[in-house]
A and B are shown apart, each in its own frame.
Chain A
Amino acid sequence: MNSPLLEFTDTGIYCSRADIYLDPWKPVKRAIITHGHADHSRYGHGAYITHHKNVPIIRHRLGEISVTGVEWGESFSRNGVQFSLHPAGHIVGSSQVRVSYKDEVWVFSGDYKTEDDGLATPYENIPCHTFITECTFGLPAFKWLPQEEVFKDINHWWSQNKSEGKTSVLFGYSLGKAQRLLKHLDTGLGTIYTHGAIENMNEVIREITHLPPTVRITRDTEKQELTGNLVLAPPSAHGSPWIRKMVPYVTATASGWMAFRGARRRRAVDRGFVLSDHCDWQGLLSSINASGAEKVICTHGYSEIFSRYLSEQGYDARTAETQYEGELAEMGNSSTEVDEETLAAGD
């Protein structure tokens, strides 16, 4: 038996010994799912295995599916291969997958971040031999500030807009970013209104954890009541007729891409807050170092650059093609169904 424990196939990351896929992008019989974002949890698998907190999220997104929820660290095995899920810190219910057979340990980290965001179960370091990492922000140009500082800026922005009689419209991805923003916005400043796509997701997340109160924007929402308050909306709402109700308003996007001035200008938002649910450069390097892995497989993001750097640092690093998109989806450039979903919920 010479084939590696996990292989990268056209369908997904595959463990042939256990006949099970991790976050596959084509329909399979059995899939372990790291988290609820559309590029990782797709339609059409026979059986889904995921963390129990992710169960309501993917049920909301995918409808009636056959899904089993497991606990952190709870181990299950197939044909001698041991599987367990561990917190990835990316969004609520997001996991890394530990796969071991005999003495060999692999970890597929999915999407992850090292900072505790106060909402997702914090990232846990899992020692392994081979570490499969994303590199969405795998460039030294990405350095996140502690989220306290970012939220201080965001809340200051809101209060300033409020003092000028303007509505603050803050864009963030419906699943994950929106709830993280919500969790740390200063509710003393006013009411937080939400776009339908975000509120639908909030309702799901509220079954799992506590979130501050929000008001869903509907056809009946009066223009006047929004003034000075904050509106959370998915990026796709930007420039849509939906947003006209907020006039006069100021816009901002919270995303790791906002580290680049050009990205903010291209999105044509007034403010860009650098806030990501992925690791920055140092976060990636420190996780890899802490894992003790000798082999590193770099997937979505700046994988070629990142793996070249790791190789120079003495790791046995390589890249692998996947169909994960990382934070691209947040920028409205996703090829997955997220956009349609938010558009449909927007009215």
Chain B
Amino acid sequence: MKEFAALIKALDSTNKTTLKVSALAEYFNKATDPDKVWAIAILSHRRPPRPVNTTLLREWASELADIPLWLFEESYHIVGDLAETIALVAPPGKDAVDKPLHEYLQDMIWLKARTEEEKKEYLLTHWTQMDYYQRFVFTKLITGGFRIGVSQKLMTRALSQSTGIDEDLLAYKLMGNWDPSEISFRELILEEKEGDHLSRPYPFYLAYALEDDISSLGDIQEWSAEYKWDGIRSQVIIREEQLFTWTRGEELVTDRYPEFEQFIGLIPDGTVFDGEILAYDKGEIGDFNLLQTRIGRKNITAALLKKVPVILKVYDLLEWGGEDIRKLPFSERRNLMENLLNSPEIVKARENGLPLQLSETLPLDSWEAVAEARKHSRDMKSEGLMLKHKHSPYLVGRKKGDWWKWKVDPLTVDAVLTYAMRGHGRRSNLFTDYTFALWDENEEGGRELVTFAKAYSGLTDAEFRKVDAWIKRNTLERFGPVRSVTPHHVFEIAFEGIAKSSRHKSGVATRFPRIFRWRKDKKIEEANTLDDLKNLIP
């Protein structure tokens, strides 16, 4: 555990990606196999279920720190992280015993079934024996949400450096369901195996936004264009008469979209689609807000299914006949998929409500026609066009060159909420005036959030109340009436005009910025960059 805590401290001590990766790689070189498996699990957000609820953690920590509970709570509101607060307020530890990381994780699993007294005893004993970083990491293992500025991608890169195994292959091995307390490092990483891949999705291929003139892509005959759908990017897997639905966030959401169960039997085993889940009712694609009501809802009632039906709009085929066909050219994968979806059986089923549609390629023979089609994106309930090279294989992650997204024009960016102020008048007791930030690259290639606009309209009252409650719980610092909040929520900000400005820290002034929608589906890492914004300047 000392080593893992030292790793977290090392990761905390730099903003440079290369140094983070080398600190991780060094850890993977030195750590024992069971510790490595758990480190991978933690950094890819797989943890044992929380063994102690946070109410008890707070009570016991305030007892240990000898402060009243309300004072602990206030401190927590300001620090913004429970594990960090506990690590800060507890008296300096004696740094007495240490166990390997995996033993602590086994403790967590064991602890879950203990009595409250046993849990308290365990926690107080361990808290008093640890120094700040150990205590922080240990408590983080309990509270979960191990976000420490290391993406799964960085972790995979470090693992690749340490093992010599290709990064894309590792990304694939780490996807899906695996249990860190069961699997060995050899099984997870080193062995080549086929057996337990039943539910495993492929890493998603992501497109960059088209920056240059469309004609720079060359011969239009080499390209395929289709509308870019604004739903939930998903992979649907049908293997051995079972169906699995994965979102791009690597969340297994099969149970939330029971409509897709109908595919079993109709779609042959050994098929994996890449597509978009869209709200769809009476032949119309619904907007994203409608789909929101399905996202995150674990309890899927018949009423909800009726109110917000969904379809899967497929645009790629990754596996066919049990074979990984990602290396085939896009046009061949499309052919296979079109043949399947246009087969009489499927066509008939679709007429009877099978929620499976093809994302049609647009028959366009000039870039002018493509540009014209893009203008109609909105009417098609899409957010622009996707341009895919006909020879492109299905790659891993965000890669430039073969796939481009060409979104429709409105000036909007996805920005991170960073500061909030109380509103006025009827909003006087609510935090409704927000400051938003975008990512900017600093000198060393790291990223930081830079303020770009303030906005205080565009959400419904109910949404404002939710954001307000969240702000009060996630305030980092108070500067008079202004609070800085944990960067966590992404909002799409729309604006009428944009110009360079020396008065603004970001170098950009926007006209009438307002909140377009709350992008609950996006993580802050996915927010736009300042360069994205500057690219909008005419």
Q: Closest chain A residue to B12 by CB distance? A: A261
Mark the stretch among A12-20, A69-77, A80-88, A239-247 that contacts chain B: A239-247
Q: Which of B67, B75, B81 contacts A262 (CB 8 A)?
A: B81
Are B479 and A328 in contact, with the CB atoms below 8 A? Answer: yes
Are A260 and B79 in contact, with the CB atoms below 8 A? Answer: yes
Any B CB within 8 A of the CB of A263: yes
Are A268 and B442 in contact, with the CB atoms below 8 A? Answer: yes
Are A239 and B442 in contact, with the CB atoms below 8 A? Answer: yes
Any A CB within 8 A of the CB of B224: no
How many residues of B are in contact with the other chain, CB < 8 A?
Answer: 35
Mark the stretch among A48-56, A138-146, A184-192, A202-210 that contacts chain B: A138-146
Any A CB within 8 A of the CB of B302: no
Are A139 and B74 in contact, with the CB atoms below 8 A? Answer: yes
Are A270 and B68 in contact, with the CB atoms below 8 A? Answer: no
Any B CB within 8 A of the CB of A312: yes
Any A CB within 8 A of the CB of B402: no
Are B443 and A270 in contact, with the CB atoms below 8 A? Answer: no
Contacts of A250 in B (CB 8 A): 14
Are A140 and B479 in contact, with the CB atoms below 8 A? Answer: no
Any A CB within 8 A of the CB of B476: yes
8 Å CB contacts to B: which residues of A220-278? 239, 243-244, 247, 249-251, 257, 259-266, 268-271
Are A262 and B476 in contact, with the CB atoms below 8 A? Answer: yes
Interface of chain B: mostly helix, strand, loop or mixed? mixed
Contacts of B13 in A (CB 8 A): 270-271
Contacts of A309 in B (CB 8 A): 67-68, 71
Q: Closest chain B residue to A264 by CB distance? A: B12
Contacts of A249 in B (CB 8 A): 443
Contacts of B68 in A (CB 8 A): 309, 312
Any B CB within 8 A of the CB of A320: no
Are A302 and B78 in contact, with the CB atoms below 8 A? Answer: yes
Contacts of B88 in A (CB 8 A): 140-143, 259
Are B78 and A139 in contact, with the CB atoms below 8 A? Answer: yes
Contacts of A308 in B (CB 8 A): 70
When chains A and B are docked, how far (Å) is the Cα of A141 from the Cα of B65?
10
Determine how close the nearest CB of chain A comes to the CB of B286; give it in whole angstroms. Answer: 38
Q: Which of A141, A143, A312 contacts B85 (CB 8 A)?
A: A141
Among B13, B70, B92, B487, the one with the most A-chain Cβ atoms within 10 Å of its Cβ is B13
When chains A and B are docked, how far (Å) is the Cα of A141 from the Cα of B85?
7
Contacts of A251 in B (CB 8 A): 15
Q: Closest chain B residue to A331 by CB distance? A: B477
Instruction: Known A139-B74, A140-B67, A270-B15; judge A260-B484 contact (CB<8 A).
Output: no
Determine how close the nearest CB of chain A comes to the CB of B68; give it in whole angstroms. Answer: 7
Contacts of A215 in B (CB 8 A): none
When chains A and B are docked, how far (Å) is the Cα of A157 from the Cα of B79?
26
Instruction: Known A247-B443, A261-B12, A266-B449; judge A141-B79 contact (CB<8 A).
Output: yes
Are A140 and B89 in contact, with the CB atoms below 8 A? Answer: yes
Any A CB within 8 A of the CB of B486: yes
Determine how close the nearest CB of chain A comes to the CB of B233; give it in whole angstroms. Answer: 28
List 15 interface pairs A-B (beta carbons < 8 Å), by A numbering: A140-B67, A140-B75, A140-B89, A141-B89, A239-B443, A239-B448, A257-B477, A259-B88, A261-B12, A262-B79, A262-B80, A262-B486, A268-B15, A270-B14, A312-B68
Q: Add 6 more A-B contacts to A244-B443, A265-B149 (CB < 8 A).
A: A251-B15, A261-B84, A262-B81, A266-B449, A268-B15, A268-B446
